[in-house]
Amino acid sequence: MTTGLFEGDGSWVISSYITPLPIANNSGLTTLLLGPKAGYRVYYHDENMAVNELAYTTAEGWQYNALISQDRQGSPAIAAAFSAGVKANANISVSTARDAENIEVTRFQNDSTWRISTYPMLSAVTPTY
């Protein structure tokens, strides 16, 4: 095995030679399996806390796919979901905590573009009786 290894110095071999910016030390990671041909996707924060995507297929190995959101995220938390669409990798949603009051959802569309939206988190409300 030559990839997918965590080295003692803290480097992550699958990305050390393909990412434009280093992965943030405190980045969350999330992965999706899109299917046997489309392979895997790994989402992470780079050192600027922007969200990036790595791809793995058996035909091409590991490759850097895209900067999917250049917005600086307020937390290392990251999650992703996938539902099969017309294209093998369509309908991917990546959610992050943009700041203390907003959640950012970056969604891959059928037209091969990423679209970003945000929505406010609801604050806890103490009921009054």
What proportions of the chain, in percent to the nearest 5, are helix, strand and coil?
A: 0, 45, 55
Give the percent of the chain with pLDDT over 90.
Answer: 24
From CA 78, how far away is CA 43, in angstroms rounded? 8
pLDDT digits (tens, 9 = 90+) for 54-101: 998 989 888 898 899 988 888 888 999 988 765 555 689 999 988 878
β-pairing verdict for 114-120 and 102-108: antiparallel
Strands across the sheet with 92-97, in order?
78-82, 92-97, 102-108, 114-120
From CA 71, how far away is CA 69, in angstroms rounded? 5
Whole-number mean pLDDT of the chain? 80
From CA 120, how far away is CA 84, in angstroms rounded? 27
Q: Where are the domains of the chain?
A: 29-120
From CA 17, how far away is CA 129, in angstroms rounded? 60
- pLDDT exceeds cutoff 80 at 21: yes
**Under 8 Å between Cβ of 96 and 102:** no
This prediction has a pTM of 0.78
